[in-house]
Amino acid sequence: MKQQRTSGIYTGKKEKITFDLPIVTYEENGLQVIYSPSLDVFGYDKTHAEARKSFTLTLEEFLLYTTHKKTLETVLKNMGWVVKKINNF
């Protein structure tokens, strides 16, 4: 098991979300797994590169769904997060 971080920017229709998340990578039953305990989101596949693509897709879908439903802040707070809004003018 290896602990790492992943970061990036998600840009939706009206929002821009910058993230920096701890992730854990490991192998299970011949599959490479990438897991973010902070969001309970994971991706997996036979190779690390494919697992990374799977994780990215799952993370994007999580953000797309929660921003579309306007529940991202609520979901994060329910997971124990402290949400900071940054306005750049």
Examine residue 23 and state whether it is found in any structural domain, yes or no: yes
Examine residue 85 and state whether it is found in any structural domain, yes or no: no
For 43-86, write each residue's pLDDT tens digit. Answer: 999 999 999 999 999 999 999 999 999 999 999 999 999 887 77
Range(s) of the domain holding residue 59: 2-78
pLDDT surpassing 80 at residue 89? no
Q: Give the phi and the psi of residue 39 in degrees, each rounded to 5.
A: -120, -5
- Would you state the pLDDT for residue 88? 64
Examine residue 88 and state whether it is found in any structural domain, yes or no: no
- Domain count for the chain: 1
Q: Where are the alpha helices (DSSP H) in 28-70?
A: 48-68
Q: Give the phi and the psi of residue 25 in degrees, each rounded to 5.
A: -115, 140
Examine residue 35 and state whether it is found in any structural domain, yes or no: yes
SS3 15: coil
Q: Report the predicted TM-score, pTM, of the whole model to 2 decimal places.
A: 0.88
Residue 24: beta bridge partners?
A: 3, 35
